[in-house]
């Protein structure tokens, strides 16, 4: 009986993780399909590109709830530490490969779409051990400072592995939590293959302060005349000055000739 309950918890976690909150939020706020925008993922970063900051933040919070909720349900119905760890992993898999976002690819094969899993993986880590929140500044710095979506997402699982290892050594967390961090890291790496390839080739999109700074620089450039414009203005001013002097000389010559005639 307990085996069926444990299996049901994992299945429920996968289904809950499959709910495409990002797709729903973008559809409700803009009427667009987030799968057709930028990376095509349904996570918070792409939702932010499609519908703005608040929509992206709301999506991230719901995705975090997927992972944390899976842990809470597992703890409520079983004492099995492995189910407690496997439930949020199932939620991450559901988020990345949603049963609700099944479609045919160009080869006619069925594929399951979704996000990259960073926020859901973070939610699972928080559900397992709330003290991992102390590591939150690391992904925040990666998001706003470094500015690469792939590195920000990977830093979540790497931070979880580091903190769970420290907590295990301090006797405050079971070693299975480290397995959770490692498993989610592998899932994220697989999902982020296109981003990592783009990062290596120098095509990865920026976010955080870099796009904002770039826009500010472009605004400044637009507000200030370019070097070519300045040079053109100087040439035009010199031409007008020379023309004015020529006109003055012509006028003086004409006056002299007029006097001579008289």
219-255 pLDDT, tens per residue? 555 555 555 555 666 656 666 666 666 666 666 665 5
Contacts of residue 129, defined as CB under 8 A and 6 or more positions apart, other chains included, come to 163, 164, 167, 172, 173, 177
Q: Residue 123: its pLDDT value, please?
A: 97
If asked whether residues 201 and 247 sit together in one domain, one would say no
Residue 67 predicted with pLDDT over 70: yes
Q: What is the mean pLDDT of the chain?
A: 86
Do 75 and 118 have their domain in common? yes
Residue 92 CB burial class (10 angstroms; 0-12, 13-18, ≥19): buried
Shared domain for 141 and 236, answered yes or no, is no
| pLDDT tens-digit map of 189-224 | 999 999 899 888 888 877 766 555 554 545 555 555
- The number of distinct structural domains making up the chain is 2
- Please state which of the ranges 2-6, 98-102, 154-158, 243-247 shows the lowest mean pLDDT: 243-247
Distance CA 169, CA 177 (A): 12
8 Å CB contact between 208 and 144: yes
Question: What is the DSSP track for 103-158?
Answer: EE-TTS-EEE-----HHHHHHHHHHH-GGGGGGTHHHHHIIIII-BHHHHHHHHHH
Please give the average per-residue pLDDT across 106-115, as a whole number: 89
Q: Would you say the pTM of this structure is higher than 0.85?
A: no
Domain ranges, residue 253: 226-261
Q: Are residues 239 and 198 in the same domain?
A: no
Same domain, 179 and 248: no
Q: 111 and 156 share a domain? A: yes
Q: What proportion of the chain, given as a percentage, has pLDDT over 70?
A: 79
């Amino acid at each position: 009986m307990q085996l069926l309950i444990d299996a049901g918890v994992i299945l429920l976690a996968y289904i809950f993780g499959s709910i495409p909150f990002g797709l729903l939020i973008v559809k409700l706020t803009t009427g667009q399909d987030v799968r057709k925008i930028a990376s095509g993922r349904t996570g918070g970063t792409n939702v932010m590109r499609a519908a703005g900051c608040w929509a992206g933040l709301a999506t991230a919070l719901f995705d975090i709830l997927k992972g944390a909720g899976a842990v809470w349900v597992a703890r409520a119905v079983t004492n099995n530490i492995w189910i407690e760890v496997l439930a949020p992993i199932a939620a991450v898999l559901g988020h990345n490969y949603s049963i609700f976002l099944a479609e045919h690819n160009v080869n006619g094969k069925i594929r399951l779409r979704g996000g990259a899993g960073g926020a859901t993986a973070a939610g699972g880590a928080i559900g397992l051990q709330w003290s991992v929140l102390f590591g939150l500044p690391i992904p925040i710095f990666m998001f706003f400072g470094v500015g690469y979506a792939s590195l920000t997402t990977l830093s979540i699982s790497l931070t979880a592995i580091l903190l769970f290892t420290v907590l295990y050594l301090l006797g405050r967390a079971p070693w299975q939590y480290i397995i959770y961090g490692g498993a989610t890291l592998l899932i994220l790496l697989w999902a982020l293959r296109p981003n990592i390839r783009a990062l290596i080739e120098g095509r990865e999109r920026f976010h955080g302060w870099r796009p904002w700074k770039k826009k500010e620089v472009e605004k400044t450039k637009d507000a200030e005349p370019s070097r070519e414009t300045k040079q053109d203005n100087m040439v035009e001013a010199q031409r007008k000055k020379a023309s004015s002097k020529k006109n003055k000389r012509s006028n003086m010559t004409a006056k002299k000739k007029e006097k001579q005639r008289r």
